Chain A
Amino acid sequence: MAVIDVVNLSKAFGSNVVLANVNLQVEDGESLVVLGGSGTGKTVLLRNIMGLLTPDSGHVAIEGKIIAQLGRDELFQVRQSIGMCFQMAALFDSMTVFENVAFGLRRHQKMTEAQIQARVEECLSLVGMKGTDKLKPSELSGGMKRRVGFARAIALKPKILLFDEPTTGLDPVMTDVIGRVILDLKDELGVTTITITHDLKSAFEIADRIALLFRGECIACEKPADFKVNPHPVVQQFLRGDADGPFLLDPPPPKRIPKEAHA
């Protein structure tokens, strides 16, 4: 049975149909990468999985439990087994890095202060952020914030990790660092992951399977090798990173041929 089962999921905001009949299955220990243009509803998909949004039709099931049908207490039980890494990290800015990472532990586990200390250090070193525990989120750079967000998400030893655009807005080197951190986490924790990204390089490194969202539908979901040779024009355009093709609704501005430089 799939750990995460997204069945015929549809979600619209007013007349803006964001997701239409999306189907995705993620098996135990598998790593799914979701690609898609900006504003195609990737975040909306994750928010439906976390139960932050309610689907208009269809459902999301985590280990067989349908999220939208759970009561608050059961929902919180399920959420303890999921770690969510937000696009902008969403760290609690009134707390230090240590308090951020310790938050879930303090609320859900009966641990002594020393055990919490040890677990927080373990999580921070897994993401390469050791020694930052006394800093406030405002003192961190974008990449550091994301990694602290990862540490907070893994503190409760979740079975599922969801990453929302973990590399967007970072330089290429930091993008590679984050890609490695995700791979490390996957290997060491053996978790099931869904990663949303625009970065094709890390996508192919991380993924067991790749899905592409396009106009609210999931038009491909297959092994990286198959994805590369998928004949669908949208897939090929996305892989080439070309403005011309069926991907955009409005035609892009025409390409200028740069004038020959006169020597």
Chain B
Amino acid sequence: MVLTVFDKVGASVLMATDTFGDFAVLAGRAFAAIFKRPFDGKNLLNQFQSVGVNSIPVVVLTSLAVSMVFAVQLAFGFRQFQAEGLASQVEGLAVMRELAPVITGLMLSGRIGSAMAAELGTMQVTEQIDALECLATDPIHYLFVPRLLASMLVVPLLTVVSVYIGFWGGYLILVGVEGQSAYVYGNEFYKLLAFKDLRIAIYKALVFGTIIALVGCWKGYRTQGGAEGVGNAPTSSVVTSSLWILISDFFLTKLLLV
């Protein structure tokens, strides 16, 4: 009885180690392959297009919605002790340090990470990845690298967009609805922030971008079992990368805020 429990725990620990090891090896190979020849500019541009340009609407809409609802809550909360003036400062802090990078990361893990998993998964089960191997092309170099680079560049850029949209989302509520002064809001939004905070946001976004691309590509590359496998790959990539985005956000915040 006790033995079977230990057996089960042992087996799942072994499996988790296995899975993580596999991910780590592929991630290492992807980073090493960044500097390998030939450099595939056309492929990279395609990825920028599908990862970056096409994600702008999603990021704009979600950032607007989240920053507005957050401003409503802040205005309500601070009104309880007649400190409405603080709402814009806290809005600025929250948008820059947490909301923009995390919302962008989560939305993009749903939009681009899952697309990567589905595309590579389909290629895997239709033997296109084997065909790449047979044409003497490293799939890690050909498929992972452009997606990784695109995602590492695009997530920080879109995070900056999200901060900007967040500013206007707060403006709409605090100035437009709550009737605070526009001039004061403009000043207060950045009052608690230093340049360091923008840097923190961008570091976070860089890490999130890396997680999204690597997890998406890895889940796709390891797809097995036909249509069902291809169906599971995106779901599992979104769940895994969202989880890692939230976990790493905690540690990055602890680390970078000192």
Interface residues of A (CB under 8 A from B): 47, 50-52, 72, 76-77, 79-80, 82-84, 86, 88, 90-93, 103-104, 107-108, 152, 156
Contacts and interface: CB of A to CB of B under 8 A. Distances in A.
Contacts of A104: 135-136
B133 interface: yes
A88 B127 contact: yes
B130 A52 contact: yes
A92 B128 contact: yes
B7 interface: no
15 contacts: A51-B133, A77-B136, A79-B133, A79-B134, A82-B134, A84-B134, A86-B131, A88-B126, A90-B127, A90-B128, A90-B131, A92-B128, A93-B126, A93-B128, A107-B136
Interface string B27-39: 0000000000010
Contact of B135 (A51, A72, A77, A152): A152
User: What is the interface of chain A mostly: helix, strand, loop, or mixed?
Assistant: mixed
A93 B129 CA distance: 12
A76 B36 CA distance: 14
B25 to A, nearest CB: 13
A88 B127 CA distance: 8
Interface of B: 38, 123, 126-128, 130-131, 133-138
A84 B131 contact: yes
A194 B120 CA distance: 29
Nearest to B137: A107
B36 to A, nearest CB: 10
A67 B240 CA distance: 36
Contacts of B128: 90-93
Nearest to A100: B131
Contacts of B127: 86, 88, 90
A252 to B, nearest CB: 28
A108 B38 CA distance: 9
A86 B135 contact: no
A79 B130 contact: no
A244 to B, nearest CB: 33
Given A79-B134, A90-B126, 18 more contacts: A50-B133, A51-B133, A52-B130, A76-B136, A76-B137, A79-B133, A79-B135, A80-B136, A82-B134, A86-B127, A86-B130, A88-B126, A88-B127, A90-B128, A92-B128, A92-B131, A107-B38, A107-B135
Nearest to B119: A94
Nearest to B140: A72
B28 to A, nearest CB: 14
9 pairs of A and B residues whose beta carbons are closest in the complex: A90-B127, A76-B136, A90-B131, A84-B134, A79-B136, A80-B136, A104-B135, A86-B127, A90-B128
Nearest to B129: A90
Contacts of A52: 130, 133-134
Given A90-B127, A93-B128, A50 B134 contact: yes
Nearest to A104: B135
A218 B201 CA distance: 63
B67 to A, nearest CB: 37
B58 to A, nearest CB: 23
A93 B122 CA distance: 10
Nearest to B122: A93
Given A86-B127, A88-B126, A93-B126, A72 B134 contact: no
Contacts of A93: 126, 128
Nearest to B29: A72
Contacts of B137: 76, 103, 107
Nearest to B40: A107
Contact of A76 (B123, B126, B130, B138): B138
Nearest to A75: B136
Contacts of B136: 76-77, 79-80, 104, 107-108
Contacts of A51: 133
A162 to B, nearest CB: 9
Nearest to B135: A104
Contacts of A79: 133-136
Nearest to A105: B135
Q: Which of B128, B131, B135, B137 has the largest count of A CB atoms less than 10 A from its CB?
A: B135
B78 to A, nearest CB: 52
Contacts of B123: 92
A67 B126 CA distance: 24
Nearest to B134: A84
Nearest to A51: B133
